[in-house]
């Protein structure tokens, strides 16, 4: 299997699906100029010149237009340059994209994909480093995908491009350049199927996005101490594969939830409460959360390192849980 970085994996999914389905249409700020800041859409203009458009800096119009086009037969894939900028279009996301199917009584499909570069990277501070998964999870009608590997990113994007519902596709900027093996044969990864990234008997770690890699690193360290982590990557937060998560917790009797969102009201809060509600009888200890500090992302690398959840914090939480 070839090893490629995640931005290339997403680019391959777009190219392959655009060749398969002529209704797919790409739009966003600077998506032609350099293929966006992270080069995800590079090369699409050469291959599909009539199916990609560079927009003004108008997030509300980008999302609104994508939704309108989706109601009329296109499959728009819109890049929002940084997830932080989706706040300028939350009206269109929350009040139109998420609701038009339901409030119009199921008259229409809404196949819109919003690609949302997220998380900390490159020291770009408070307005370019957020992780807003929980905001999107809270709105009925939005699916939320959070790939952690190139393989998952490509397979999930292909599923999204064949679906009928809106997808908030969370792309962690820190992971764009991280390489991983991707099958060179056709495959898709269905939404709502978690992936057990590592099997273990002692603690279930539900990790998403950049925390998957950190959880696997923590698992290697702890294995030497005789603590075996089971690392589960939900891959999509909506829909959520609770079966896989709950069966793991029933086996390990302990759970840590970890992601790069700020902790208060983060997706970890929802997952922890679901586990507490459904697996209470199996738990030997309270569910732990390892998430970002409840602060805007600071600029200085010294402070950023403190804000973002680390392998060390995972190690401490795991050791505490089995103590």
Partner 1 sequence: MGIKGPTTEQLLDMYAAMWRIRLFEEQAEYQSGQGKVLGALHTYIGQEAVGVGICAHLTDADYITSTHRGHGHCISKGADVRRMMAELFGRVTGYCKGKGGSMHIADFAVGMLGANGIVAGGFGLATGAGLAAQVRESGQVAVCFFGDGAVNRGPFHENINLGAVWRLPVVYVCENNQYAQWTPQEEITLVTDVASMSSAYGIPGAQVDGMDVLSVYQAAGEAVDRARRGEGPTLLECKTYRFHGHNFGDPQQYRTKEEISDWSGQHDPIQGLGDHLQREGVLTAEEAESIRNSVQEEIAGAVRFADESPYPGPEELTRDVFSTPVA
Active site residues: 128
53 with 81: CB under 8 angstroms? no
Least distance between partner 1 and beta carbon 94 (Å): 10
| Residues between 274 and 313 that touch partner 1 (CB under 8 A) | none
- Cα gap 171→160, rounded to integer Å: 13
CB of 103 to partner 1, least distance (A): 4
Q: What is the 8-class DSSP label of residue 83?
A: G
Q: Assess 238 for contact with partner 1 (CB under 8 A).
A: yes
262 by DSSP, 3-state: which?
Answer: strand
Nearest Cα neighbor of 245 from 197, 202, 204, 199 is 204
- Determine, following the binding rule CB under 8 A, whether residue 244 of this chain makes contact with partner 1: no
When the beta carbons of 100 and 153 are compared against partner 1, the nearer one is 100
Query: Is residue 74 near partner 1 by the rule CB under 8 A?
Result: yes
Nearer to partner 1, 96 or 131 (CB): 96
Interface residue with partner 1, options 2, 19, 102, 184 (CB under 8 A)? 102
CA 156 to mean position of chain CA atoms: 10
Return the structure tokens found at 258.
Answer: 């970890």
Residue 170: name the closest of 211, 113, 216 by CA. Answer: 113
Give the contact letters, 107-136, x = binds to partner 1 (CB under 8 A), - = no. xxx---------------------------
The one among 17, 79, 92, 270 contacting partner 1 by CB under 8 A: 92
For partner 1, which is the closer residue by CB, 3 or 107? 107
Binding residues for partner 1 restricted to 29-48, rule: CB under 8 A: none
Would you count residue 95 as binding partner 1 (CB under 8 A)?
yes
Choosing from 14, 32, 69, 161, the residue that interacts with partner 1 (CB under 8 A) is: 69
Which of 53, 80, 240, 39 has its CA nearest to residue 170? 80
Residue of the chain from 26, 40, 66, 321 that contacts partner 1 (CB under 8 A): 66
- Bridge-based pairing of strands 288-292 and 52-54 is unpaired
**Nearest partner of 176 among 26, 21, 35, 18, judged by Cα:** 35
Phi, psi of 205 (to 5 degrees): -115, 110
R_g of the chain, CA atoms, integer Å? 19
- Binding of partner 1 by 84 (CB under 8 A): no
Q: Is 203 in the site for partner 1 (CB under 8 A)?
A: no
Residue listed under structure tokens 């939320």: 144
CB 152, min distance to partner 1, A: 19
Of the candidate spans 3-11, 29-37, 140-148, 181-189, the one that interacts with partner 1 by CB under 8 A turns out to be: 140-148
Candidates 83, 168, 167; CA nearest to 120 is 83
Question: Contact, 98 vs 47, CB < 8 A?
Answer: no
With contacts defined by CB under 8 A, name the span among 32-40, 102-110, 115-123, 130-138 that binds partner 1: 102-110
163 contacts partner 1 (rule: CB under 8 A): yes
Contact 231, 267 (CB under 8 A): no
Helices (H), the chain: 6-20, 44-47, 59-71, 90-91, 100-103, 133-137, 150-162, 211-223, 242-252, 267-279, 301-307, 311-322
> Smallest distance, Å, CB 295 to partner 1?
29
Where do contacts with partner 1 occur on this chain (CB under 8 A)? 25, 50-51, 53, 55-56, 58, 60-61, 63-74, 76, 91-92, 95-96, 100-109, 140-141, 143, 163-165, 192, 238-242
């Amino acid at each position: 299997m070839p090893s490629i970085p995640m931005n290339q994996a997403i680019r391959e999914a777009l190219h392959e699906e655009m060749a398969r389905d002529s209704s797919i249409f790409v739009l966003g700020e600077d998506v032609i100029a350099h293929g966006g800041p992270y080069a995800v859409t590079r090369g699409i203009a050469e291959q599909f010149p009539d199916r990609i458009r560079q927009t003004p800096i108008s997030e509300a119009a980008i999302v609104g237009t994508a939704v309108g086009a989706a109601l009329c037969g296109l499959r728009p894939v819109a890049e929002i340059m940084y997830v932080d900028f989706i706040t300028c279009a939350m009206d269109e996301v929350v009040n139109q994209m998420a609701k038009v199917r339901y409030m119009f009584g199921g008259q229409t499909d809404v196949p819109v994909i919003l690609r949302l570069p997220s998380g900390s990277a490159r020291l770009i501070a408070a307005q370019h480093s957020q992780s807003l998964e929980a905001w999107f999870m809270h709105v009925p009608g939005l699916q939320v995908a959070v790939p952690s590997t190139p393989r998952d990113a490509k397979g999930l994007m292909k599923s999204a491009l064949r679906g009928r519902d809106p997808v908030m596709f969370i792309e962690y900027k820190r992971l764009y350049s991280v390489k991983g093996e991707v099958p060179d044969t056709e495959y898709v990864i269905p939404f709502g199927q978690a992936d057990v990234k590592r099997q273990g008997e002692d603690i279930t770690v539900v990790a998403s996005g950049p925390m998957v890699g950190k959880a696997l690193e923590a698992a290697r360290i702890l294995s030497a101490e005789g603590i075996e982590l089971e690392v589960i990557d939900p891959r999509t937060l909506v829909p959520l594969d609770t079966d896989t998560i709950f069966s793991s917790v029933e086996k390990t009797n302990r759970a840590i939830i970890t992601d790069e969102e700020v902790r208060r009201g983060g997706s970890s809060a929802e997952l922890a409460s679901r586990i507490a509600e459904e697996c209470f009888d199996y738990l030997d200890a309270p569910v732990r959360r390892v998430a970002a500090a409840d602060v805007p992302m600071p600029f200085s690398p010294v402070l950023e390192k403190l804000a973002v959840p680390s392998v060390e914090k995972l190690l401490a939480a795991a050791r505490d849980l089995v103590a």
